[in-house]
Structure 1
Amino acid sequence: MVPSRLSSSIKAASIKPLVKCLLFALGSAQADDQILQRVLVDGSRANQLGVADAASAGSVSQQELAARTVYRPGEILEAAPGLIVSQHSGEGKANQFYLRGFNLDHGTDLRTTVDDMPVNQRSHAHGQGWTDLNFLIPELAVRLDYKKGPYSAEEGDFASAGTASVVYANRLLQGVASASAGQHGYGRALVAGSLDAGNGSLLYAVEALHNDGPYTHPDDYQKLNALLRYSQGYANNGFNVSLMAYRAGWNATDQIPLRAVQDGQMGRNDAVDPTDGGRSHRYSLSGAWRRTSDDSASKVNAYIIANRLDLYSNFTYFMDDPVHGDQFAQPDKRVTSGVDASHSWHQHTENGNSATTIGIQLQNDNIFNGLLATQAREPLAVTRQDHIVESSVGLYVENNTRWNRALRTVAGARIDSYRFDVRSSLAANSGKASDHLVSPSLSVIYGPWQTAELYANIGNGFHSNDARGATIRIDPRTGAAADQVAPLVRSRGMELGARGNWLPGLQTSLSVYRLDFDSELTFAGDAGTTEAGRPSRRHGVEISNYYKPLKWLSVDLDLAYARARSRDAAPEGDYIPGAIEGTGQLALTVDDGGPYSGSLKLRYFGPRPLIEDNSVRSKPSLTLNGRLGWKLRKDLKLELEAFNLTNRRDSAIDYYYPSQLKGEAAPVNDIHFHPIESRSLRATLVKNF
C-alpha cells in the first residue's frame, strides 16, 4: 500500500500538466510550479493566489456546489460571496438578484452565462437583462466562476456589478438517478449519465419537477428539462455539441400590500389576483471547440437560443382600471444567436512570462414582444407591440504579464458597437439607433510572499438599455411626449484588495471598491419594468473567508456592506430604492468521507431603502437552511433538506409604490412584499450507476 503522503504527491504530480494547460486555457500566464503549489490544496478549496486577478474574483468547485442547499436552481449563484438570489413571484419567473449595492432586478448588471451561452436577455418585455436560470440542472455544474466589477476586457454587456459563469460537465464519471419529495407539493425526478459513443462521450439528462409552494393559490409550477451533449477530447483540447430543452408553466402569487395583511383582509400567502402567472420555454443548440499547446490557446463557441415567455402580472390591482383590474401581459419571443472566439499567445520573458489574448463576440437578437392589458389572462387592449432586431459586436485585447516573481499585470481594452432596429405598433416609436463604447481596464497584482497578494483594479464597463427606450417618442400609455435614453450606459469602477492564507487551512480575501454609473436603472412598480434614471455611485467593502480547520470540517463566512447614492441633487432625495446595504452568510459543512455528511447555512439579507428620502425601509431577513446526507451503501444515498428551519416570517423582497385594492376609494402608497417560504422539508434518494 502506498503511504498517504506519497499517494498525495503522486496524485499532485500526475495532474500538474493538466492544471498547467487549464490555467493557460483560462488565460493565466503564470502556470509555474510555485503557483501550482498554491492551487493544489489537498482536500480543500482551490487557492486563488497567483490565479485570480482581483480579490473579488474566484471559482467554486463541483464538490462545494453539491454541498449547498438550494430551494431553486438560480440560488446556486449564491456561492459567489455577497450575491443574494430572491424571488417576488411564481417559481417559473426569473429570480431577483442583489449584489454590491444593487437591486439588479432580474439580472441587469450581472452578466450570467451557462457554458458560455448568455442567459441575460436584451430588450426584454419585463426587464432589461432578464436572467431566467430555471433551465439549470445543478447536478451537471462542475464549476462556478465569478468576478465583480468592470475589470476584465473579456466581459461586456451587463458585467459592471459582476459576472457568474456556470460550466457544465462533458462527461459524468457516474450516472445518477434521483427522486425527491417534499412539502407543498414538491416532487422532482432526475436521470443523468454518460455513454461511450464512437471516439467520444454522450451525456444525457432529463429532469421533471413540480412545486406548489406554501401559497393559498398553489404555484402549480411544472417543468420539463433535458440536455443531450456529445463531446470528444478534454476541456482544453476537444469539442462538444449540446442540445438543451426547457418548458414550464406556473401560477404566481405576486407581491401583496402590507396594509391588507395588517388589517386582516389577506393572509401572508394569499394573492390579490390568482390568475397571475406564466409559461416559458427555452431551446438551444450550442457548440464549443478548444485547442491548447505549449505556446498558444484557441477557443470558439457558437449558439442559437429560442426563448419564449408569456408573463401575466398585476402589481397595482385596481388603480388604473377599477372594473377589469390592472393585470397586464408581457409576451416575449426571441431567437438569440452568437459566436465568441479568442486566441492567446504565450511568451516567456527573461524574468517571467506573458500571454496576449484577442477576441471577438458577435450577438444578434430577433425579438417580438409587447405590453397588453388583460383580465384573467384574456387580452383587453394592446398598449404596444414591437419587433426588435438588436445586433452587437465586441472586440477585445488583453495582456497578462508576470514581470517577475512578485509583480504581474493584466491590461486590456474592448470596443462594443450596437445597432437597434425597432418597428413598433405606434409608428412614432419606430426607428433605428446605434452606439459604441471603448472600455479600458487595468489590474496590478503584487505578491512577493508565498501566502498573500495585493490587488489594484480599475476599469470601464457598460450596460445596454432597452432598444425601445432608444427610439421612443410618445408614451404609449398616456400619449405624452417621452424622452429617449442612451443606448449604452457607461460604468467606471476601481477596487483595492488583498488575499491571503496566513493560517493553515484559512483563505481570506478583502476588497474595497467604488462603482459609478452614468444612469441608474430603477423599478417602476405600476408597469413591472425598469427605466433609466439618475447617475449613481456605490462604495463598499467585502470580506470572504474559507476555513478548513479539520479534514472533515469547513467553514464559510462572507460579509459585505455597500453605500449606494444618486450623484445628482434632487428634492426627493439621493437614496436608491432597493439598493442592498448589507449581506452575510455563514456556512458549516461536515463530511469525513464516511456514511454521514451535513451542512448548515445562515443567510442575512440586509435592509434596503424603498424610497429616495429613506423614510421607508425594508426589514432584514434571516434564513437558516440545512442538509443531511446518509450513504446507505456505496451507490445509494439519502439526503434530507430543510428550508427556513426557524420558520421566520420575513420578506423575500419589498417594494414601495401606490396601489388600489377593490373597495378602496383612492390609491395608497404602501410597502408591497413577497414572503419567504415557510419551513419545508425535502427528501431525495440518489442512486449512482
Structure 2
Amino acid sequence: MKKSIFLINALFISYFLPAQHNKLSGVIIDSTTKQPVFGATILLNPGGKSVSADEMGKFILNNISATIIHLTISAIGYEQRYFTIVANSPEQIIKMKRQQTKLSDVLVTSYSGNPYKVLAETDIGMRGVANSQEVLRMVPGLFIGQHQGGGKAEQIFLRGFDADHGSDISIHMDGIPVNLVSHAHSKGYADSHFIIPETIERATFNKGPYDVEKGDQATAGWLDFNTVNKLSNNTIKLEAGQFSTFRALAMIDLLNSGIRPCKASWYAATEYSYSNSYFENHQHFKRFNFFTKFNYKISERQLISISASSFWSGWFASGQIPERAIDSGLVNYYGALDPNEGGVTSRTNFNIQLKSSLKNGGLVKNQLYYSFYKFDLHSNFTFYLDDPVNGDEIRQREKRNLVGYNGSYLHDGRIGNLKSTILYGVNIRLDITNNTELSHTHDRYVFLNLQKLGAITELGSSMYMNETIKLSGRWTIKGGMRFDHFHYRYNNKFNNDPTLKGSGIYRASNYIISPKININYQASTNTQLYLSFGKGFHTNDARVVVSGNGKQTLPAAYGSDVGVLYKPLKNLLIQTAVWYSYLQKEYVYAGDGGTVDFSGSTRRLGADLSIRFQPVKSMFFDLDLNYANGRSLNEVKGNNYIPLAPVWSSTAGISYINKTGWNASLRYRYLSNRPANEYYSFTCEGYFVNDLVIKYKAQRYEYGMVIDNLFNIKWKETQFATVTRLKNEQAAVDGISFTPGTKFAAKFSFSYYFGFKNLMKADK
C-alpha cells in the first residue's frame, strides 16, 4: 500500500515539473465547417514523435529539441498536410481540407490506445451509414437480428455473445446512454432507432472490457456515436421502395452559418418512415424522428453544445413462428400466428455538453442529459402453452425518467522525459420507472391478469482514473481503475409476485472495482502490437437484485486480447487478434416471461481478422472474419453449449467510387450454424445474404438504389429453441421458432443539397 501511495504522489508531482526544451501547440479545424478535427494525428519529422488532436482539435508537442519543426498532419477523410513552423511560436490554427477517404493517409500509431480507431474512421468514411441498422453494423463482427418488427431494439451478437438487446455491449450517442437498465423487456435494452443515420459524424468502438470510461454492459465491447456539430449543406432526401416503404428526411442549417465564419451553428434534422414490410401480416410500421443541435464558441477555449431529440414508433409484428407450423401448412413462411403482436415506443432526449480547454493543455468536459421514455410491447412466444383458451400473449410496458451527469479531466504532462496523459472521470446516472408492468392479455387490448407491477429506482455512480505513458518512443502503457456503485429500490405493487414476499419497498446495493491495462508496442512505422487485460461487468435487473437473497448479483467479466495492426503496403491494412473472456455468471433477467435464468460461469475464446485494401483510388475492399468458441464451465461436455452464441461470422464488401459521381457497393453477411440450446439438440441455421447499393452524386443532388437480399434467398434472421403449444394441440412441443429475414427488397432515393453558395469552395 505504501508503495502504491508513493507512486501516485510521484505521478501527481511530475505534472508540476518544468517542461524541457521547445514546444508547439495548435488547433486542427475543418477548412469548410471550421469545426475541430478530432483525432487528427500530428507527426514530428524527423524523430517520429506523434500526438492526437483532442475533441477541441487542440494538440501540444513538448520537449522538442529542434528549432525548426516539420510536421505531417493526417486525418482520415482529409488531405494530408505538411507544415513547417518555428518552435515556441504562438498557437497555430491549421486547416484541413476534406477529400475522399484513402488508406494511404492512414498512420499506424500506438498512442491512441484504441486498436480499432483506424478501422472505425476508415469504414464510416468509405461505406457511410445507409440506414438505422447500419448504425450498429459499423463494428466488425457485430451482427443484429430483428424478431418483433422494425420498432423494437435489435438482437445483438458480438464475440460469441448473444447480447440479447444490449446486455453485453454499451452504446452511447453524444454521451447519452442508449442502453436502458432494468427494462420492462430485457436487460440493457438498447433501441438506437432514435438516431438519424445522416447526422452521424463518427463512430468509435472497441471490443472487450478494456476502457475505464466504459462501465455497465461493456463486456463484449462498446460503441459510441457522435453527431455532426455543423452541416456542410442543407439536405432534402426522399426514399421509396417495395412493400409500401417510404422515408422522408430534411436537414436544415437554421443560422445559414455554412456560408460564413461565425461562433454559432444550429441545425435541425427530421425524418418520417413508413413500411408494411415483407410479412403477410402488414406491419404498418411508422417512425418519426426529430433532432436539433446548437453549438456556440463561448471563447477560444470553451465550446457549448445543446441538443434535443424526439422519437416515436408504432408497429404490428409477425413474431416468431415454430417450424412445425410452417411444415404442416398452418401458416405461410412469412405469416403470423398472433397478428396482434407489436408495440408503441417513444423517447425524448435533452443534452448539454461544455468542453473547456485549459491553458496548461488540459481538457475538461461536463455533460448533463435527460431522457423521457415510454414503451408498450405485446408479444406471444409460446402461443397456447400456459393458457389453452385465451393464449399466452403478454404485455410489457413502462414509463421512464433518466437523468445523468458525465464529467472528465484530460491532461498531457510528463514524468521526467516520458510523455504522460492522465484522465479522471465521474459518471452519475439515475433511472426512475413508473409502473413497470408484465401482464397477460388477449387480442392486444383485453386485459386478463397481472404478473408483475412495480416502480424501479436505480442509481449508478462511478469514478475512474487512467494514465497513458509513452516509453522510449515505441512502448505505450495505458492503465487505469474504475469503481462503480449501484443502489436499487423496487416498490412492488403486485402482492402475488412469486419472486418477492408480498408488496412493499425492497432495497439492495452492490459495487465493483474494475482494473484495466493496455500495452502497445510500435514495432515499426507500419506495425503496432497490442496486449490488453481488463475486468468489466453488466448489472442485472433491479427486481432480480432485490430478491437475490445473497446471491452474486454483480458478477465480473474478465477479458484479454493479443493483436497486431499491420500496414505492409500503403493501401493495405490488416488487423488480427486472439482473445479470451470469462464471466463469473451469465445472470440475466429474462424479460419475455418474467423469470430469472442462472447459467453459471462461462468462457469464450476466439479470433478476429479485419482487412482493408484500396488497390486504386476508386476501389475499396473490406473483410471481417470472426470465430468464437463459447462454453459453460459448470456443465459436463456435450451439455455445455451457450445457446444462440455465434461461432463463425463474416462480412465483406467491394466499394467503387468514381470521380464522375458514380459509386456502388456489393456486400455480404455470413453467420454460421450455432447451438440453439445447451445440448446442441437444436440448431440455429446460418445464412449468407448479399446487399447492393448504387448511387450517383453530383454537386447538388444524388440518386440512389439499395437492394437488400439481392439474390432473394430464404433465411432465418432470428431463431430460438422454445417450448410452444399451438391452438388445438394436446401437448407442448420443444423446437425452433424463428423470424424470417427480408425478401428481395429494392429501395430508391433522391437527395437534393442546397443553401450554401460556396459549398465546394473551402477556405485555403
Normalising by structure 1, report the TM-score. 0.92
In structure 2, relative to structure 1, the CA distance for the partners of 1:44 and 1:532 (3 Å cut) is: farther
- For 1:223, the aligned partner's letter is R
What amino acid is the match of 1:204?
A: A
Q: Tell me what 2:285 maps to.
A: 221
Residue 508 of structure 1, CA deviation: 1.0
Cα distance change of structure 1 residues 200 and 529 upon mapping to structure 2, 3 Å threshold = farther
Q: 2:440 aligns with which of 373, 397, 416?
A: 373
Which SS does the other structure have where 1:74 is aligned?
helix
Q: Which has the larger radius of gyration?
A: 2
CA contact (8 A) 2:60 2:361 kept: no
Match of 2:332 in 1: 267
Q: Which SS does the other structure have where 1:324 is aligned? A: coil
Shift in CA distance, 396/612, structure 1 to aligned 2, threshold 3 Å: same
Which residue type is aligned with residue 355 of structure 2? Answer: R
Indicate whether 1:497 and 2:563 are aligned.
yes
Kindly state the Cα deviation for residue 568 of structure 1 after the two structures are TM-superposed.
1.2
Please state if 1:339 is matched with 2:414: no
1:402 Cα shift?
A: 0.7
Q: How big is the shift at 1:380?
A: 1.0
* Contact 1:548–1:555 (CA under 8 A) maintained in structure 2: yes
**Structure 1: which amino acid aligns with 2:268?**
Y
Shift of 1:325: 0.5
Query: Which position in structure 2 is the counterpart of 1:50?
Result: 110
Q: Is the 8 A contact 2:235 2:751 kept in 1?
A: yes
Counterpart Cα distance in 2 of 1:442 and 1:335: 35
Moved more, 188-197 or 387-396: 188-197
Q: Is the 8 A contact 2:107 2:526 kept in 1?
A: no
Change (3 A) 1:48 1:382: farther
- Name the residue aligned to 2:27: none
Shift of 1:85: 1.5
Q: Is the counterpart of residue 674 in structure 1 residue 739 in structure 2?
A: yes
Residues 30 and 50 of structure 1, relative CA distance in 2, 3 Å threshold: farther
Partner of 1:478: none
Q: 2:699 & 2:286 partners in 1: Cα distance?
A: 32
Q: 1:105–1:26: structure 2 CA closer, same or farther, 3 Å change rule?
A: farther
Residue of structure 2 equivalent to 1:480: none
What amino acid sits opposite 1:23 in the alignment?
A: A
- Give the aligned partner of residue 60 of structure 1: 120
SS in 1 for 2:326: helix
Q: 2:10 aligns to what?
A: none
Match of 1:423 among 476, 480, 491: 491
Determine the C-alpha separation between the residues in 2 that align with 1:159 and 1:574.
24
The answer for the alignment partner of 1:647 in structure 2 is 712
Partner SS state of residue 488, structure 1: coil
- Residue from 239, 256, 266 that aligns with 1:202: 266
- Report if aligned partners of 2:671, 2:688 keep a CA contact under 8 Å in 1: yes
Residues 1:150 and 2:209 aligned together:
yes
Which residues of structure 1 form unaligned runs of 5+? 1-9, 474-482
Q: Which amino acid aligns with 2:490?
A: V
Aligned to 1:404: 472
Once residues 511 and 29 of structure 1 are traced to their aligned partners in structure 2, the CA distance between those partners, rounded to angstroms, is 30
Give me the whole-angstrom Cα distance separating, in 1, the residues matched to 2:443 and 2:684.
31
Could you tell me how far 1:592 is from its partner in structure 2? 2.4
- Pair 18,423 (structure 1): closer, same or farther in 2 beyond 3 Å: closer
Q: Distance in 1 between matches of 2:127 and 2:39?
A: 25
> Which of these residues, 483, 487, 490, is aligned with residue 553 of structure 2?
487
3-state SS of paired residue (2:133): helix
Which residue is equivalent to 2:730?
Answer: 665
Please give the alpha-carbon distance, in whole angstroms, between the structure 1 residues aligned to 2:464 and 2:59. Answer: 17
TM, length-normalised to structure 2: 0.83
Question: Aligned equivalents of 1:212 and 1:334: distance in 2?
Answer: 29
Partner of 1:6: none
Aligned amino acid, residue 196 of structure 2: I
Residue range with higher mean Cα deviation, 40-49 or 219-228:
40-49
Report the AA paired with residue 124 of structure 2: E
Change (3 A) 1:400 1:525: closer
- Counting matched residue pairs gives 668
- Aligned equivalent of 2:169: 110
Identity %: 26
Cα 1:16–1:89 shift into 2, 3 Å: closer
2:527 & 2:737 partners in 1: Cα distance?
Answer: 46
- 2:613 corresponds, among 523, 547, 565, to 547
How far 1:62 sits from its partner (Å)?
Answer: 8.9
Measure how far apart 1:212 and its partner are.
Answer: 1.0
Q: CA deviation at 1:566?
A: 0.7
Residue 97 (structure 1) aligned with residue 156 (structure 2): yes
Secondary structure at 1:79 match in 2: coil
2:417 aligned with 1:387: no
**Structure 1 counterpart SS, 2:134:** helix
Deviates more, 1:47-56 or 1:28-37: 28-37
Higher mean Cα deviation, 666-675 or 260-269?
A: 260-269
CA contact (8 A) 1:552 1:590 kept: yes
Contact 1:65–1:76 (8 Å) recurs in 2: no
Tell me the alpha carbon deviations over residues 403-451 of structure 1, each in whole angstroms, 9 at most, x when there is no partner: 1210111000010000000111245264100001100011111114100
Q: Which residue matches 1:612? A: 678
For 1:26 and 1:108, how far apart are their aligned partners in 2? 32
> Are 2:110 and 2:476, in contact at CA under 8 Å, matched by a contact in 1?
no
Higher mean C-alpha deviation, range 637-646 or range 226-235? 226-235
Counterpart of 1:23 in structure 2 is: 53
Contiguous gaps of at least 5 residues in structure 2: 1-29, 43-50, 63-69, 81-100, 496-500, 755-764
Q: Distance in 2 between matches of 1:511 and 1:335?
A: 40
1:53 deviation in Å? Answer: 2.2
Residue 99 of structure 1: how far off its partner (Å): 0.1
* Residues in 1 aligned to 2:750 and 2:222: alpha-carbon distance in whole angstroms: 33
Distance (whole Å) between structure 2 residues aligned to residue 604 and residue 593 of structure 1: 31
Q: For 1:508 and 1:28, how far apart are their aligned partners in 2?
A: 29
1:38, distance to aligned residue in structure 2 (A): 8.4
1:629 and 1:38 map into 2 onto residues whose CA distance is: 25
State the distance in 2 between where 1:36 and 1:112 align: 30
Which has the larger displacement, 378-387 or 275-284?
Answer: 378-387
Q: Does 1:455 align with 2:521?
A: no
Letter in 2 for 1:222: K
Deviation at 1:48, TM superposition (A): 5.2
Per-residue deviation, 1:350 = 4.9
Give the Å deviation of 1:248.
Answer: 1.1
Q: Closer, same or farther in 2 for the Cα pair 1:295/1:117, shift >3 Å?
A: same
**Residues of 2 paired with 1:30 and 1:538: CA distance?**
41
Q: Does the Cα contact within 8 Å between 2:623 and 2:653 map onto a contact in 1?
A: yes
- Quick one: distance in 1 between partners of 2:675 and 2:437? 31
The structural deviation recorded for 1:572 is 7.5
Judged with a 3 Å threshold, the aligned counterparts in structure 2 of structure 1 residues 54 and 130 are, in CA distance, closer, same or farther, namely: same
Matches within 5 A, 1:437-586: 437-472=512-547, 485-521=551-587, 527=593, 531-570=597-636, 573-586=639-652
